[in-house]
A and B are shown apart, each in its own frame.
Chain A
Amino acid sequence: EDQVTQSPEALRLQEGESSSLNCSYTVSGLRGLFWYRQDPGKGPEFLFTLYSAGEEKEKERLKATLTKKESFLHITAPKPEDSATYLCAFASNDYKLSFGAGTTVTVRA
């Protein structure tokens, strides 16, 4: 069965303390691995799409990478405004995204 697992569930960081979030997946027909950010009371906001192993994308302090079995979201020198829940999701061949449970990141000043 296709599924995606995120770890850790929660991450508490000091401002400037870099870390990585993991998203492991088992999908028979991957058509994209997505990362979203969700703030409390809001819908998820798109960050990245990765399509093939070895692909990397960056945006400000965030960098997403993809292997054949997992994806990482690296947060470099985080700031308090990076506090949010980060969700990964995969697209299969049938027009839906399957989301992981998310990693809640808290960055303290």
Chain B
Amino acid sequence: KAGVTQTPRYLIKTRGQQVTLSCSPISGHRSVSWYQQTPGQGLQFLFEYFSETQRNKGNFPGRFSGRQFSNSRSEMNVSTLELGDSALYLCASSWGGNEKLFFGSGTQLSVL
């Protein structure tokens, strides 16, 4: 069975631009979460979606947003990119939320 798929794998942007990352969860999973991973801060929770509704949001500025579609696929968007947004962005899916998460390989975003 296919795992969590994230695209693109690598992305290079410049300050001020915006970016959209995509995540396809495991078939049948309805919960999709997004995490930011940096060497200094570790894994930080961004938000979680279930059946197209955002159920929880982490402590990130409004420049970070997301959405989930009816087929459970999810996108996250970062507007007005800053150098500090350079990170590995990980998507994870699960059936309902708090049980074990299945992570994708992530999108490595570099902001120059």
Question: Interface on A for B, CB 8 Å cutoff?
Answer: 31-32, 34, 36, 41-46, 49, 87, 89, 91, 94-102
Contacts and interface: CB of A to CB of B under 8 A. Distances in A.
A34 B100 contact: yes
A99 B43 contact: yes
Interface of B: 4, 31, 33, 35, 42-45, 48, 50, 55-56, 58, 90, 92, 97-106
B33 A96 contact: yes
Contacts of A87: 43
B56 A46 contact: no
Given A43-B90, A44-B103, A96 B42 contact: no
A94 B90 CA distance: 19
Nearest to B54: A95
| Chain B interface, DSSP helix/strand/loop, else mixed | strand
Most buried by B among A42, A45, A95, A100: A95
A8 B98 CA distance: 27
A45 B104 CA distance: 9
A68 B107 CA distance: 36
Nearest to A46: B100
A81 B91 CA distance: 25
A45 B103 contact: yes
